Amino acid sequence: MPQTIPELQDREFVFTDKDFQHISELVGQKVGIVLAEHKKNMVYSRLARRLRAQGYKHFSDYLKFLQSDAGQDELVEFVNAITTNLTHFFREGHHFDHLRDVIIPEWLNHPRSRRIRIWSAGCSAGMEPYSIAMVLHQAIPNLKNWDIKILATDIDTNMLDTGVRGEYDMQAAERIPRMYQKYVEPIAGTDKASMAKEIRPLIAFKKLNLLESWPVKGPFDVVFCRNVVIYFSKDTQRVVFDRFASVMPSGSTLFIGHSENLFNITTKFASKGKTIYQRVA
């Protein structure tokens, strides 16, 4: 008989070691995330509301449903529940400083076609691409004369919906540096703020799974992929960064998360500072 995870015995739903193993395999297959043993409580708490919504009492029955044709829509909700979405505006601020102080001046001093493409991969609720848009709008004169687009992708459809709406709690918006507060528009009668209409057209939000086919060709001048691959195995990281390299020309810039590095992962990027890399030929 399958063994119930001891610390979860008295909870609402039956959750066994076999269930956790099945979930770990499914998550690894679908999104590349490696779920360690200590994540069992987290998995239970995040998926419990999905069992409630679907009317199941056993994780095993819920998992069978996910594998059925009828469960394909629920599979999207399953992925949404498992993925981590910790984010805030101007997170790891030195990246945005580098964009403003190093990359943009290079574009301005050596204009090419004025076509700029930036990819925010794993954009979560959209705070990262909106932060990028604020920097671009502030730092590039006559922005309307440039062809600039920010592709913002994530696997979590709920987070993407938030990004499309561009509305955030005022408490979150207050973390935006003062020099960019002009892009924050309080919504009357609420505790929320909306991103300014000047920066919204710069961003296109799309669902994308980094492990599946990429309906994007690039070339991308800048890629933000921060605190995403930390949940992947080393082999999966190698595949993902090689794919990024394939859509980035020599000299383009890659930003990764503070807990990530490319050591023994790829030779296609050279370090240019703290978690800042440049594509090499």
pTM here is 0.81
Q: What per-residue confidence (pLDDT) applies to 236?
A: 92
Residues known to be catalytic:
46, 154
Q: What per-residue confidence (pLDDT) applies to 180?
A: 97
Q: CATH number for 6-82: choose from 3.40.50.10490, 3.40.50.10320, 3.40.50.10210, 1.10.155.10.
A: 1.10.155.10
Tokens 């979860």: give the residue. 8
- Amino acid sitting at position 265: I
What lies within 8 Å, CB to CB, of 175 at 6+ separation is: 88, 89, 90
Q: What per-residue confidence (pLDDT) applies to 202?
A: 98
Domain boundaries, the chain: 6-82, 93-279
Q: Would you tell me how many other CB atoms lie within 10 Å of the CB of residue 181? A: 12
Q: What per-residue confidence (pLDDT) applies to 35?
A: 83
Which letter, b or e, does each residue of 231-267 get, where b requires 16 or more Cβ atoms within 10 Å of its Cβ? bbeeebbbbbbeebbebbeeebbbbbbeebebeebbe
Q: What per-residue confidence (pLDDT) applies to 272?
A: 94
Q: Say if CB 115 and CB 153 are below 8 A apart.
A: no
| Two structure tokens written together for 241 | 């960064």
Q: Digits of tens for pLDDT over the chain (281 positions)?
A: 555 555 555 678 989 999 999 999 898 888 777 888 888 998 998 899 899 999 999 999 999 999 899 988 898 888 878 876 668 899 999 999 999 999 999 999 986 678 999 999 999 999 999 999 999 999 999 999 999 999 999 999 999 999 999 999 999 999 899 999 999 999 999 999 999 999 999 999 999 999 899 988 889 999 999 988 887 889 999 999 999 999 999 999 999 998 899 999 999 999 998 999 999 98
Class of domain 93-279: alpha beta
Which letter, b or e, does each residue of 141-162 get, where b requires 16 or more Cβ atoms within 10 Å of its Cβ? eebeebebbbbbbbbbeebbeb
Q: What are phi and psi of 16, to 5 degrees?
A: -100, 170
